[in-house]
Amino acid sequence: MPSTDHTLTILDVSGPFREPREQVFSYDYSVQRSIWATPHAVRVKVSIPDELEPFKKRLLGVVAGSPGQQLLISNILSKTIADSKMRVADQEGLLAERRDVMLAPFVGPLGHLFPKLETLFEGDQMSVREEIKRRVGM
């Protein structure tokens, strides 16, 4: 009996990258499904003012710390947001076909997906706080 498990598998993630002329961090994912012959790429953009900063404020409030600590917090949070965006996009069928994809920030045309991102983020808040506490010491 053939397998019907077409789960999206993330093979590799690189980033964050700072996009030129955009206030975003981006991550490049290499993803694979069992029915695809080869992996394909997904670039996920995380808007600094529209996604990262609101979630950071909600999670930590106003945070002081060294520039290095601030950078590490932003990296942890932006990666968490990018991973959550991948989950939302997969659930919504945006990654169903084998083609290279760019996931823009969940504002404007993709704004209807933002509440789903918020729900995932709320569910992950405790583990993200623990990771920040462990890695940043804050």
pLDDT value for 4? 53
pLDDT < 70: residue spans in the chain:
1-5, 138
List, for residues 47-59, the tens digit of each pLDDT value.
999 999 999 998 8
Tens of pLDDT, residue by residue over 108-133, are 999 999 999 999 999 988 999 899 98
- The pLDDT, as a whole number, for residue 3 is 44
pTM: 0.88
The neighbour count for residue 53, using CB atoms within 10 Å, is 14
Closest residue by Cα to residue 118 from 57, 42, 41, 43: 57
